[in-house]
Every structure is written in C-alpha cells, then in structure tokens.
Amino acid sequence: MTTFADLGLDPKVLSAVTDAGYTEPTPIQAGAIPPALAGRDVLGIAQTGTGKTASFVLPMITLLGRGRARARMPRSLVLAPTRELAAQVAANFDTYAKNTKLTKALLIGGVSFKEQDALIDKGVDVLIATPGRLLDHFERGKLLLTGVQIMVVDEADRMLDMGFIPDIERIFQLTPFTRQTLFFSATMAPEIERVTNTFLSAPEKIEVARRATTAESIEQGVVKYTATRKDRQASEKRALLRALIDGEGEKCKNAIIFCNRKTEVDIVAKSLKKYGYDAAPIHGDLDQSQRTRTLAAFRDGSLRFLIASDVAARGLDIPDVSHVFNYDVPSHAEDYVHRIGRTGRAGKLGKALTICVPHDEKWLAAIEDLVEKEIPRVESPLKGGAKARRDRDVQDDAAPAKEAPAAPAPRPRDTAADPAPTAPRTPRDRDRDRDRDRGGRNRRGGKSGRDDAVVGMGDHMPAFLTRSFKPKPDPETTEETAD
DNA sequence: AAAAAAG
C-alpha cells in the first residue's frame, strides 16, 4: 500500500501532510504526484472531492523548494474558475507550505488591488488566481509571467462552461513554453481536449473513477409540487421548503439550499430569515467580503443555512453538510451531481431533497437519465394533495402554525417576494452590463435585421425605445385573472 | 427561466 512517505515529497511537505492527519494518498494523488515530481506534464481527469487540490499543491511546493522568488516574476501559477475555489487552493497552500519559506499571492476580483500589487512587487513563489483578475494585473504591466515554471489549471471543464478558455489560452501563451503544466478537468470535452493537445507535452494521464453520482452516502428524494394558484406558486414553494426543513428536524444540522437564479437566492434567504431560520445568501452579485464572511460562517458552523447559486455548487469543500435542498431543479443535469455532492462527504451521511414544479420536470428527467437511476419520490409534507390545499387556500394567511411548526410565532407574512424596494432592472441596465462585458464575447453579432435603429446608439439601443411607452397590464400581477 | 468572472 502506498503512503505519502513513498511519493518522494520534500520532508517538510510530508510533515505538514502528517500534521494535517493524512497518511494514505487518494488515487489521484498517488497517480499525479510522482510524475509531477519528475517534472512531467500531468493531465488529471477527476471530479472534485477526490483530493485533487493536494495532488498539485504538494508536488508544487516540493519542486519550488529550492530557489526564490523575484520581484513581479512568480515562479508558479494556479488558475481556478471561481474566487472561492482560488481561496480554497490558497488555504491548502498555507497548510502544506507551513514548514517552508515559500510565499503566495491570491489574485481574485472583488477585492482591492493594493495588497495584491504589494505582494507581486515583492515577489511571490506561487500565484493563485481567477483568470480575469490575473489578466487585469498583467495588462496594467504589474506582472511578468515569463518566470513561471509550473502552471496549474484547475476545474478546466468549469472554465469552459464559464467562457474562460480563451483567457486560459492567452495566459498559457504568456508563460514560457518550457514550463511544466498540471491540468485538471472532470471531463474531456472536445474543446478541453484541443487545449490540452496544444499546451501539454506528453502528459501523464491519470483518470480517476468518477465519484459515484448516487453515492450511497447520499439519500435522495424529489418532492413534486404544483401550485394551487399561479400567483401563489412562489410563496407556497417557500412554505414547502420550510416544511421540508422542519420535517428533517434535528437531523438537519445545516444545509445548503440551491436556487437557479441570484434573485431567487436573495428572496429565499430573506424569507427564511423572516421566519426565524439562521440563513444567509451567497451568489456572484454579492460583494466579495460578504461572500467570504458568509462562507466562513457556514464552514465554522455559526451559520446553519446557506442559500446559494451555483457559485457554490462545485469544488467547495465544506465538511459536514448534513442536507442539500434544491429549491429549483438545476437546468443542467451535471449541476445536480455537483450540488448534492456537497453533502455525504468524508464518510458522513447526507440527504438531498429536490423540489420539482411541473415546469422543471424535463430537467428532472434529464438528471435521472444522467445518473441512470430514478430518484425516489417523496410525499409533500404540506398536508393533503392539491385539492386539499386548494380548499384550505382561502384561509392560508390565517392558519399560521400548521405549515411551519418550528417557526416562531407570530407568523410574519411572507412578503419577501413583494415588489422589491430597489428599482427593477431595466433594459438599459442590461445594456450597460453588456457594454461592460469584456472582449465583446457576449455581444450580438451582425445587424440582426433591425431596421428601426436609433442613430447614435450603435448596437446598444435600449429595447424600450422601440416600444410603446404605455405599460401593458401584466397578467402575472393581476390577481383577478388567476382563476 | 442561468451563473460565473474585471471594475
């Protein structure tokens, strides 16, 4: 049996690994570390939760052991798709490099340049970054990548999903072709294959069995739910979520609740808080300090419910999540696997419950296709079927305790979804966002056959300029038409 | 009926 001691790591690294409580490498670690230490390129095909991070951090620290950093010329570079993942890699680096003098800088967006600049100027051994912020530093002439000896790309398939591949290719070209490359992806999409063919040389390929999608450690269930009335869908769905949480009782130590949209994340978090649940939102529109604080609180157990967009679906290592609730069925089947994979980790048991409204049935079918299993149907904890709910519906607001037994009385009205206090986004906002988009990636191509263009507005004429100024009555908000 | 990433 292989132990870490057999892998040829620097003794300082080895003792840090031992201190962290590990003796036996995971398959990806056992496979990737020896060739990496031998200076070879590595192509690792592995999901998160397989010990992937240590499989590049440990050899990297060992290889960088000799030599020291020069100003503005980092000796190695790790690229991750999200800020949280980059921060997680940085934390791993700190853990395993604690007996060395190696230095690092974390270059992510949403925080000030100042500290990052100071570190780069001084010189760091390891740069851990998201692509956008890294290129930003480079373009401002603060950074030279010609000294990079080792480059790591983590979660490449997610980079692909997020449109980062052109950035990654550009960064590759800024580093010396003699560099060593360690490249990790959960899947080998054709586009990923093309990149590895271009930038890796004779890589050692290590493929680790996909983490069982329906791990026995995760109990799964789907709750089908149909609104009694269209205009009640949102608030009933939140009531159902509360009932599901309450139904789990003490067993639900903590949970991540996934929503498909950022606005929904905010609404659900606000609603749960209103009902006395210890909940906080996390998604990409929140500022970085809040994201960091919220995640830290959830990790250390001081926050019980994390309401999240898919920013938290992949890669994040949060030990001890007892439950995952999918408030929405994810529209990409893969994401389901990633989301529920946040629970049932490290030998612990977990439970994943998914709420499915009729509109989402096709996505549910796609998920069951992917995992090649039927997810057990679970009866809705809200009493009775649709008919019973319809009958009860009239006095919904007057029947407090029934739906949320654990909620503190008096039951506040769930007004989280009421017209927002902040102004709704206008087409103009969206156009401004698109203008900001860099590289014009998301820009409309061609003339799109519009013959009513307004002179002087280029391709970015706000849509409302071509419409009547008189607002149409909105069928969604006119109660009378609901039945 | 999407999220993420630069500011």
Domain co-membership, A151 together with A293 = no
The verdict on residue A450 lying in a domain is no
Domain co-membership, A176 together with A252 = no
Residue A400, pLDDT above cutoff 80: no
**A115-168 pLDDT per residue, tens:** 999 999 999 999 999 999 999 999 999 899 999 999 999 999 889 988 899 999
The verdict on residue A193 lying in a domain is yes
Range with the lowest mean pLDDT among A127-141, A249-263, A350-364, A454-468?
Answer: A454-468
Contacts of A218 (CB under 8 A, 6+ apart): A340, A341, A343, A344, A349, A350, A351, A352
Examine the fold and report which residue of A403, A418, A451 is the final residue of a domain before the chain moves on.
A403
Domain co-membership, A143 together with A33 = yes
Alpha-carbon distances, residue A70 vs A64, A114, A209, A229, A364 (angstroms): 13, 19, 40, 65, 52
Distance A399 CA to B4 C1' (A): 41
By C1' distance from the Cα of A161, the closest nucleotide is: B4
Smallest CA-to-CA distance from A219 within A95, A139, A325 is with A325
Distance A330 CA to B2 C1' (A): 9
Distance, in Å, from the CA atom of A27 to the CA atom of A209, rounded to the nearest integer, reads 9
Cis amide leading into A34 (omega within 30): no
What's the pLDDT score for residue A214? 52
By C1' distance from the Cα of A134, the closest nucleotide is: B6
Q: Which residue is nearest to nucleotide B5 (CA to C1')?
A: A132
By C1' distance from the Cα of A358, the closest nucleotide is: B1
Distance A251 CA to B6 C1' (A): 42
Alpha-carbon distances, residue A364 vs A76, A328, A332 (angstroms): 42, 10, 10
By C1' distance from the Cα of A328, the closest nucleotide is: B1
Distance A332 CA to B2 C1' (A): 9
Smallest CA-to-CA distance from A252 within A306, A191, A289 is with A306
Domain co-membership, A192 together with A253 = no
SS3 A149: coil
Helix, strand, coil percentages, rounded to 5, for chain A:
40, 15, 45
- Give the structural domain span for A178: 4-207
The verdict on residue A329 lying in a domain is yes
Domain co-membership, A14 together with A110 = yes
Q: Which residue is nearest to nucleotide B3 (CA to C1')?
A: A310
> Going by DSSP bridges, is the β-strand pair A180-185/A305-308 parallel, antiparallel, or unpaired?
unpaired
Domain co-membership, A174 together with A304 = no
Distance A360 CA to B1 C1' (A): 10
One-letter identity of residue A318: I
Domain co-membership, A70 together with A142 = yes
The verdict on residue A446 lying in a domain is no
Rg of the Cα atoms in chain A: 25
Length of chain A: 483
Domain co-membership, A381 together with A321 = yes
Domain co-membership, A231 together with A130 = no
Give just the sign of the alpha carbon dihedral A297, A302, A303, A304: positive
User: What's the structural domain count of chain A?
Assistant: 2
Distance A387 CA to B4 C1' (A): 41
Distance, in Å, from the CA atom of A52 to the CA atom of A61, rounded to the nearest integer, reads 15
Rounded to an integer, the average pLDDT of A341-368 is: 88
By C1' distance from the Cα of A332, the closest nucleotide is: B2
**A278-321 pLDDT per residue, tens:** 999 999 999 889 999 999 999 999 999 999 998 877 767 777 78
Of residues A425 and A245, more confidently modeled: A245
Distance A361 CA to B1 C1' (A): 13
One-letter identity of residue A220: Q
Contacts of A11 (CB under 8 A, 6+ apart): none
Examine the fold and report which residue of A355, A374, A403 is the final residue of a domain before the chain moves on.
A403
Alpha-carbon distances, residue A351 vs A244, A333, A368 (angstroms): 12, 18, 17
Domain co-membership, A259 together with A180 = no
**A199-249 pLDDT per residue, tens:** 999 999 999 876 555 567 889 999 998 888 878 888 899 999 999 999 999
Distance, in Å, from the CA atom of A211 to the CA atom of A185, rounded to the nearest integer, reads 13
Residue A411, pLDDT above cutoff 50: no
Distance A420 CA to B6 C1' (A): 28
**A243-289 pLDDT per residue, tens:** 999 999 999 999 999 999 999 999 999 999 999 999 999 999 998 89
List residues, Cβ < 7 Å, touching strand B. Answer: A 81-84, 108-111, 130-136, 139, 161-164, 260-264, 283-285, 309-311, 328, 331-332, 357, 359-360, 436-439
The verdict on residue A480 lying in a domain is no
The verdict on residue A481 lying in a domain is no
Distance A233 CA to B1 C1' (A): 15
The verdict on residue A16 lying in a domain is yes
Chain B nucleotides close to protein (CB under 7 A) are 1-7
Confidence band of A68 (pLDDT split at 50, 70, 90): confident
Give just the sign of the alpha carbon dihedral A99, A105, A106, A110: positive
Rounded to an integer, the average pLDDT of A382-395 is: 47
Which CATH number covers residue A189? Answer: 3.40.50.300
Distance A179 CA to B6 C1' (A): 27
What's the pLDDT score for residue A195? 94
By C1' distance from the Cα of A85, the closest nucleotide is: B4
By C1' distance from the Cα of A259, the closest nucleotide is: B2
The verdict on residue A47 lying in a domain is yes
Two structure tokens written together for A275: 């009902």
Domain co-membership, A203 together with A351 = no
Q: Which residue is nearest to nucleotide B4 (CA to C1')?
A: A162
Establish how many alpha carbons lie within 13 A of residue A238's alpha carbon, considering only the half-sphere containing its beta carbon: 23
Confidence band of A422 (pLDDT split at 50, 70, 90): very low
Domain co-membership, A147 together with A246 = no
Mean pLDDT for all residues in chain A: 80
Examine the fold and report which residue of A370, A403, A436 is the final residue of a domain before the chain moves on.
A403
